[in-house]
Every structure is written in structure tokens, then in C-alpha cells.
Structure 1
Amino acid sequence: MGLSPEIQQAVEELGFQAPTPIQEKTIPFLLENNTDIVALAQTGTGKTAAFGLPILQQISPENKHTQALILSPTRELALQIANDLSNFSKFSKNITTVVVYGGADIRGQMKQLDKGASIVVGTPGRTLDLIKRKKLHVNEIKWLVLDEADEMLSMGFKDDLDSILETSPKEKQTLLFSATMPKEIVGIAKRYMTDPFEISVGKKNTGAENVEHHYYVINAKNRYIALKRVADVNPNIYGIIFCRTRAETKDVADKLMQDGYNADALHGDLSQAQRDHVMSRFRSKHLQMLVATDVAARGLDVNDLTHVINYNLPDDPEVYIHRSGRTGRAGKKGVSVTLIHLREKGKLNQVEKKVNKKFVKKQVPSGKEICEKQLFSLIDKMENIEVNETEIAQFMPVIYKKLAWLEREELIKRFVSLEFNRFLQYYENAPDINVDESRSGGGDFEFDDRGRRGRRQERSRGNERPGKRRKGYEFSRMFFTLGKKSGVNKRTIIDMVNQYMPGKSVEIGDIEVMKNFSFFEVDKRYEKQLLKAFSKATYKGQRVGIDIAKGK
């Protein structure tokens, strides 16, 4: 690929043998061209080496100015990129990398910059702060990398990115890496890049190739029970469970821990030290399951995840793409599991089209299936356990004597039962919690393929028209601060009410979506709760709010 002996030596020492598809396409191009590029690739495909190796090779060690600026959405990802670059440049002389991010002492970062940095890796907010303080000088950079650009935009960094891009020299080479291609990314490319060359290792805005997509249809009240059964039928599960809110994340993690699972939560209420502790335990596989919100999980990069579980289906299909892309990395297979109820079937169809893959409906496993899977997993572990002969030798004579009265078959049965009995007891008479989609009943709302809300057929009343008021409800008319211009539709408002009012069956009446704002009707009994629940609501990085509508 034309890499220098120093970089080649570092790469070989790290154990890399063959380039990933994005590396194969990007590295030779960047070594031979100064053209801007837009590279579309899922997370975990080796993007850091794709842009890092050619930049390191072309850095001028004698030049004391900052020559490359790499922006990433989170502290964790910035640290990871900086660590990778340090490993890649292990045998290259006089190349220094400095990482800057919020939540850490800015004075220490300024001292590091004063000593000189060939490459600066940073989060947008702290990077812009240091530029304004005239501690980070970007007037001579040759490369500007936007890594996970779609994530940076969804986290609300657009203004910071605009300011940084406007400050940097026009003649630099801009490299934009993104898993999806929303219109905001297209806008950045048009405004700040010159005729960019597009490199893609997959279709735009589609899911990762090595991921299977499964879904289970259940009643909302059985969501946690279904989660446990999915975990139990996969004894070696190592995955992330995504929840909508901090409160739900804490609740699910607490329940899992109380039920004896190696699980913990990752959410915005944790201090940085607590967050680092949880992430360290998860990376070292001391935790099997991590329960997290989308925001909290950003920057968490783990290659060996077997499962991603969507405790709730996200509102935005692109969020699902990011979630599912966290498994099935480095050539390994992964499974993305989604728990839905009947009302979300139409919404699932929208996600399926976006991902461009067929989702497979699965039956929530029965107690018998789980017990069988756990039993054979236990036998596999027993077969493959490594015996420490030296340490165990002194105890064996007593153990042999104590168990001498047992026949071989009886001994095996007892060892197996020691672990197996708890699953037998727990799942004895466990009910079937799968929902029969052929039955209508219950009068719940469902959505068609376009996300339109309707009422399922009821035996006594026939079909009602979408949006028709139900008798016995007094409605309040609410003002909503976003409209069509922000990508909001009727479906968005329904989903947000469900998201911010979990566990509540809130009746919604007429919905009107205008260009810059919206109106919707809601059961008057929930008026105050709704106002409180939406006090810190966000949609695609924008703060939103609702209020009681004045007048007609």
C-alpha cells in the first residue's frame, strides 16, 4: 500500500495482517491525492487507520506547527483515536499527538499544546474553546478530519463545526467519515469541501452487513420478561441494551442486577469517574450486559459484542443503524434484537426499509427452550474448563473420599443440577408471552406502513377513522415548538409523548403539524404531567417544549 517501513513495523506489531475494505480504498487514495473525501462506513470498520496511517506518513516532523486536526463526537472516541495514532507512530520520530476534550482541566491541555503537537484530536466544543483562546493554532493545518460526523451533528455540534471549519485554511484536505448521510452532512460537504471524492464500503444509511435483525412482538407490560428470556436463551451474551430515558436505563439495570445478571447502567447522571469505571468493567467483560441511552453510549467502542438489544424501538431509523452497527464488527457476526408491541409494527417497517435488510420475527423462547440451552452451555463450560492441577491437588483426596459413595451417573446428575435447578424452578409453568398478530382485540392503536395512527378493529364498534375522538375524553390543546422544517410529523409527536410519559396510556386527539410549530390534543388529565415531562425534552439535538395553546 506504499506505507513507510516505520509505520509498517508498528502495524505488524499490533497484529494487523490485511486491510479492512475502508482501509483498502482510503489509504492508497490519501497517499496519492490531495482531494477532499467523503467516506461512508459503519463504526468499527477500521476508519482510524484509514485516515491515520496516510496522515502520519505525510506529517513533516521538522514542522513544529499543528498539521492535522481530527474532530470526534465524544471524549472516549477522541482518546481512542489518539491512542491508536500513538501506536501507529511508535517507530516514527518527532510526531506528537495531543488530545483535547471537555470535562478535564483545560490548563493541562494548554500546556501540552504549548510544547507543540503535530496532530490534535479533540471534541468540537473544547477544540473551539482552545482556538478562541489562541492556544490551538489551526491556520497551518494540512488535514482536517471529521470522524463520525453524523454523530457530531445529532449531538448538537453544528455551530461549533461551522466555526472551526470557517477558521481553518481553505487549501487543507478535508476528510469526512460518517456511518449515515443525512442532509446536514450533505450541507457540510457542499459548503466546506471542494468536489469531494466519495468512498463507500456499504450503501448510504444502511445497516452493517454482518448483523442479523430479529424482533419479538410482545405486550408492553411483558417487555422486561422478554428481555430476560432473550438473555437467558443466549448464555454467552455480551451486549448493550438501549433504553429511551435515563430513568428507564436505571430501572432495567437495577432489575437485572437484582435478578443476578452481570449488568450495569450507563447514563448521563454518572460522573466521569463512575462512567470510566463502568466502561472499564464492560470492556474487560466483567459485565455481560450494559444498559445505556444512545447519548451515554456514544464513543463506547467494543469489537466483540454478540448482541445489541433495543428495549424500545428508536424514533429515528438512523439511530437504529448506529445501534445495530455496534455489533457484527471486525468480520464477526452479530444480532440486533428489538422488542416491539403491535402498535409499533408500522414503525418497524420504516426502519426495515431504511436498513435495507429483512427483519426476522422470532418467538420469545419458552421456559423449556431456555433450560435446554442453559443445560448444554453448562456442559460445554464443564468440558472446556482448565483444571489447575497444582492448586487443586491438595483438596482432591478429601473430595474423592466424600463423593466415593456416588455412582458415575449420579455424580454427573448432581453437578449438572447444582446450576440447572434454578432455571427449572424459575421457568416452571412460565407463560407464553408472544402476541398473536392475527387477533385484533383490546382496542389498542396500531400504525400502518406510513406511520399513520389508526384503531384496530373492535368487535362491537367496527373501524374508527384515524384521529377520531374517543367518547368520554376531555382534551387540552398543546403548542409544540417544532414543525415540518425540523423533520417533525404526526408520528414524531405520538412517539415523543410515549417516550416522555413511559407507562402512561395517554389519549391523543387531533394533531396539526405546521412549518415551524405544531398543535396536538391530549387527555386533559395528563396536562400538567406532560408539561413537566417535556421540560428537558430534545429532538435530534434540538431543545423542544410544549405549552398550553392560547386561543384557537
Structure 2
Amino acid sequence: MNLFTETNLSPELLKAVGELGFVSPTEIQKQTIPFISSDIRDLIALAQTGTGKTAAFSLPILDMIDDGSRKIQLLVLCPTRELCLQITKDIKNYSKYLPNIKTTAVYGGSSIMEQIRSLREKPQIIVGTPGRVIDLINRKALDFSEIHWLVLDEADEMLSMGFKDDLETILSETPETKQTFLFSATMNKEVERISKNYLTKPHRISVGSINEVKKNITHEYYVVGYRHKKEALKRLIDANPNQYSIIFCRTRMETQEIADFLMQNGYAADALHGDLSQAQRDTVMKKFRLKNIDILVATDVAARGLDVNSLTHVIHYSLPDDPEVFVHRSGRTGRAGKDGISMALIKPEESRKLKQIKSSTKIEISEKKIPTGTEIIKAQVGGVFEKLLTEHADFFEFDDQLIPDLSEFSKEELVHKLLQFQLRDLALYYKDKNDLAEQKFSEDGRESRRERRDRERDGRRGDRRDRDGGRDGGRDSRRSRKNSEDMVRFFFNLGKRDHLKKVDMLDIINKATAKSKSRKRPDIGDIEIMEKFSFFEVEKSFKDEVLRGLPNLKFKGKEMRAEVAN
């Protein structure tokens, strides 16, 4: 099946698809459309975001829906409001010439009464986020007792966002006779468990691997001290003109701070995070999609479900703890066959975390130097010509007689003057700036005391405010002021699969050392929450108290064990 016209889809669907510019199906569509059209088994489909999954499941289902019935026949569950609206928009576009098919989106952050009113139109298709779907079930506004198809889209994201119980509640409201399609970018243990419990002998389709998705993405990292990160970010943006990018931060506070810094420096940027109202989020996303702003600064949670195909760059202002999050972030660029660039700003002491990401994902990430002022101006000159030579439209009319006599200038002289005029402010800014690539760190390669103090202060402030994604992405709320030789590193037997978060680890350590003779709390260093276990650092003088106190505690009913790490 190399063309949509070779499928058995109805003429109405083919007409709508053709008008959208679809000619050849993607690989996930080639395999999924014929299966759903002809098979009654459940399905697990593994494919990265942006590979055309919505068309893959919705086109064959639209072909089979009974448009004479006013019962809900298809339920699509997805993790975020943005993805919910995108899927709904796509399905409505595909069903443009099927006038009796109605699709309704239900999601949080919007009036539930308006959504209840829209449900009175008896749609056959519901697209929703788990929390709002449960609210409407409890209000008796939704009845899934007769659905034929259930789609779990981005199942791994829904589970990582804590929707496991919600999904199980919704699934219990659906008939056993339904056909279930699970779409996911990864097949982690939680997704595997859901599939075993709620899918019956599913057929599996797997399209590509993580490495194949990254083939057209160049990965780079830049080492920079904490105090120089903002300046380094500015240089990366200036050295890559005409970019359309997302900058990822760990906390909401950091996200807003970086967005404010960029806007104050004249960049067309804005922030997307959990402190914004729904109306504010909608405004920011509308500006970004219309390219009224070309830089979006976002947290991982806020950016989930965004569907933008033309991103040129992804910048990791702060590294995520989870390598899979790094992959998902980077995968937002390089879509639709275009090349993309993923750039990470890392502090010297984060080299171990970067190695873990490289080892886990098998990504080749090349170290680069922060661009110098001279290199930036060179790139900006190229950017001016790139924009000039690719823009062919006349945006306004004027009388050519208004152009003065320029015959005294050669072509080169005229271009020189125009570039001097265009890039004057930027050139003056970088004229006497130091080369960040030559900054000096302390002898052990770590940040200076001042940098560490600044980072600890901002980290504490960020954690107090950061509730994005259950605080999982924030810095430790109390960082150690001790040198590394004054700390002892522990192995801890619980991890992410036990629903352990950094804030839990801090509480556990404080409880374990609560009976300290010194009557003070220990200084706590790095905390790393891995999938099956964790590591944490505690002031050496509290080593024995941690070892004695932990076995007497339980976390969510589970025994805890710690030992000094090698």
C-alpha cells in the first residue's frame, strides 16, 4: 500500500485525505489501517510521536462507524488537553464529507457545563483526557457501555503522568466486547501491565526504533558554568538565526525566568508552564503556532501533546533525569523528513548524567564550544542571506522611484552597508565579550563556590514553587553546602517503579535521622531516582543514623534498605 487510493477507504474519506495533501501513508498507517479494517483482535502499536498515528486508527474506524446510531462508538483517551484538541481537529478534518459523524472533545481547564451541553448532540466519537472523562462519567453525562473501539493514545505518557488509576476506572466502564488499540512510543513495565490486564491476545505493530527516529537529528552539548548559562543560551540562539525552537526547563520558576530573560533581550519568546491559566496557555500556543513568537520556553509536562512539525531546534536548558524524556524532547524536532538540532547546556558536574543518557539511548552527542562573538556575527550574516533569498513574496507595494540613486556604490559596498545597519546592535554587544568556551572551572572540573551557591539558592526557590508533574522534575529542595568529600553516597532499594519521588526521598532521610543527637537535620546532596533503585548523598556524620533508621521505616508499605555505595 504505497498510496491512500490503494486502500479500501470510502470515497468520502479519500476525498478529505486528498484535500489535506496526504498521498502516501506513513509506515504506521500502512500497517495499521489494513489491520483495523479487517481484524477483530486488539492491537499494540509502537511508534514515535509525529508518525501519523491519529490517521492510522481514525480513518479505518470512521469507515466502519454506524452514522445512523446516536450511541458513543469510539472513545480516544490521551494525556493532555493540547493533544485532545489536536486529535479532535484531525478526526473532524477526516470526516469532513461524513456529515452525520459527530466528534466531541472533553478535557480539563474548560467549562464542564459547556461540554455536557455538547454531549447532548449525541456524538459517536469522544476524545478526552482521563480526569475529565471520569468527571463526566460520575455526572452520568457519558455512557461507554456500547462502545466498539477504545484507543489509548500515548499510553506511556498517560501512565507517567499518574493516570494509571483513572485509566483502570474508565476501562472498567467499557464492555468486554470492545476492540482496544494501545498506541505508545515506548513499552515500559506499566504499559506492559495495562496491556496484559486489559487487552486480549493483542497483535503487535512496531514501527522503527528510537535510533531510526533520530537519524535526521544532530545532537550537541555545551559545557558551561551555572552563572554563565543564560549568556550561553543567548549565544546559541544568536549563532542559529531563523530558528523555531522549544527550550526545555525543569521547573516552572526556571521556565518563566528564562522566558523573561529572553523577552527582555528582545527575542520573540514566551513561557508555557503549569502556573498559567488555560486562557493564557491557549494564547501562548496560538502565538507559537502562528510563529508570532519563534521560541517557546516550556516544562516537560506543559509541552506534552504539542504537535508542531516544523521545529528547527530543541534546547535542553536543564537535563532531565529520565533518558526517555531526553529522547521525547529531542524528537520534537526533525519531523516530516526535515533535519533538526538538539542542543544541551550542561554544567561540568552533570557529565555523569549525560553519560547515562548517552549509554541508555545510544545517542551520539557531540561536544561543541560555546560560539564566540566573531562566530555569531558570521552566522548572523548567513542568516540574513538565508532569509533574504528564501522570501520571494512582495509584502507591500511602493514606488521604486523612492529608492535613491545608489550608482556610486558597488554591489559589495551596498551589501556591506546594509549588513552593518542590520547587525550593528548585535556586533556592538559581542565586541568586548569574553569567550565563554575559555571559562575556568575549579581544579576538579566542578563549578565554583559562587556558582554552586547561586544554583543552590535558585534550586531551593524553584522546588518550593514547582508542583509541575508532581514535583518530579524539580531540583532538590535542600542542596548540600558541603564539599563532595564531606558526603557519603548511599544505594537505596526503591525507585521510580515504586512511585518514589525526590520529595519523598528528602522526607525519608529526615525521618531516618530524626533522633539525631545533634538535633539538626543533615545536609543532603544529590538524589538520583532510577527505575528500580536510587542513590542519595548525606553528610558523612549522619552515615550510621541513616543505616540504623531506614530499616525501621516503610514507604507505601514497602521495606526500605540503604547501604553505602561503592
Q: TM-score, normalised by structure 2?
A: 0.79
Q: Which residue of 2 aligns with 1:444?
A: 446
Q: How far 1:405 sits from its partner (Å)?
A: 6.2
**CA distance in 2 between partners of 1:425 and 1:273 (Å):** 39
Summarize the Cα distance change of 1:389–1:300 in structure 2 as closer, same or farther, 3 Å threshold: closer
Q: Which residue of 2 aligns with 1:166?
A: 172
1:156-195 correspondence to structure 2 within 5 Å: 156-195=162-201
Matched, 1:318 2:324: yes
The 8 Å contact of residues 243 and 249 in structure 1, kept in 2 or not, is answered as: yes
**CA distance in 2 between partners of 1:214 and 1:96 (Å):** 46
Summarize the Cα distance change of 1:410–1:204 in structure 2 as closer, same or farther, 3 Å threshold: closer
Name the SS for the 2:40 alignment partner. coil
Q: Which residue of 2 aligns with 1:511?
A: 490
1:304-453 correspondence to structure 2 within 5 Å: 304-386=310-392, 388=394, 391-393=397-399, 396-400=400-404, 409-434=412-437, 441-442=443-444, 444=446
Q: How far 1:501 sits from its partner (Å)?
A: 5.9
Q: How far 1:430 sits from its partner (Å)?
A: 3.0
Summarize the Cα distance change of 1:85–1:29 in structure 2 as closer, same or farther, 3 Å threshold: same
Q: How far 1:506 sits from its partner (Å)?
A: 8.3
Q: Which amino acid aligns with 1:157?
A: F
The 8 Å contact of residues 206 and 356 in structure 1, kept in 2 or not, is answered as: no
**CA distance in 2 between partners of 1:139 and 1:361 (Å):** 55
Q: Which residue of 2 aligns with 1:263?
A: 269
1:520-531 correspondence to structure 2 within 5 Å: 520=509
**CA distance in 1 between partners of 2:280 and 2:190 (Å):** 34
Q: Which residue of 1 aligns with 2:20?
A: 14
Name the SS for the 1:66 alignment partner. coil
Summarize the Cα distance change of 1:498–1:92 in structure 2 as closer, same or farther, 3 Å threshold: closer
The 8 Å contact of residues 149 and 185 in structure 1, kept in 2 or not, is answered as: yes
How many residue pairs were aligned? 490
Q: How far 1:282 sits from its partner (Å)?
A: 0.5
**CA distance in 1 between partners of 2:216 and 2:61 (Å):** 29
The 8 Å contact of residues 150 and 185 in structure 1, kept in 2 or not, is answered as: yes
Q: Which amino acid aligns with 1:368?
A: T
1:479-498 correspondence to structure 2 within 5 Å: 498=475
**CA distance in 2 between partners of 1:92 and 1:426 (Å):** 58
Matched, 1:217 2:223: yes
Q: How far 1:526 sits from its partner (Å)?
A: 11
**Structure 1: 5+ residue stretches without partners:** 446-492, 541-547
Q: How far 1:281 sits from its partner (Å)?
A: 0.6
Q: How far 1:202 sits from its partner (Å)?
A: 2.0
Q: How far 1:503 sits from its partner (Å)?
A: 12
Q: TM-score, normalised by structure 1?
A: 0.81
Matched, 1:92 2:92: no
Matched, 1:288 2:268: no
Percent identity for Structure 1 against Structure 2: 48
**CA distance in 1 between partners of 2:141 and 2:390 (Å):** 56
**Structure 2: 5+ residue stretches without partners:** 1-6, 448-470, 499-503, 532-541, 550-566
The 8 Å contact of residues 250 and 474 in structure 2, kept in 1 or not, is answered as: no
Q: How far 1:389 sits from its partner (Å)?
A: 9.4
Task: Let me know the Cα RMSD of the aligned residues.
Answer: 3.4
The 8 Å contact of residues 211 and 328 in structure 1, kept in 2 or not, is answered as: yes
The 8 Å contact of residues 206 and 321 in structure 1, kept in 2 or not, is answered as: no
Summarize the Cα distance change of 1:372–1:32 in structure 2 as closer, same or farther, 3 Å threshold: same
Matched, 1:80 2:91: no
**CA distance in 2 between partners of 1:39 and 1:409 (Å):** 57
Summarize the Cα distance change of 1:520–1:410 in structure 2 as closer, same or farther, 3 Å threshold: same
Summarize the Cα distance change of 1:497–1:105 in structure 2 as closer, same or farther, 3 Å threshold: closer
Q: How far 1:71 sits from its partner (Å)?
A: 0.4
**CA distance in 2 between partners of 1:526 and 1:235 (Å):** 52
Cα deviation, 1:306-355, whole Å, max 9, x if unaligned, reads 11110011001111121111111112111111111222222112212332
Q: How far 1:425 sits from its partner (Å)?
A: 1.4
**CA distance in 2 between partners of 1:8 and 1:505 (Å):** 66
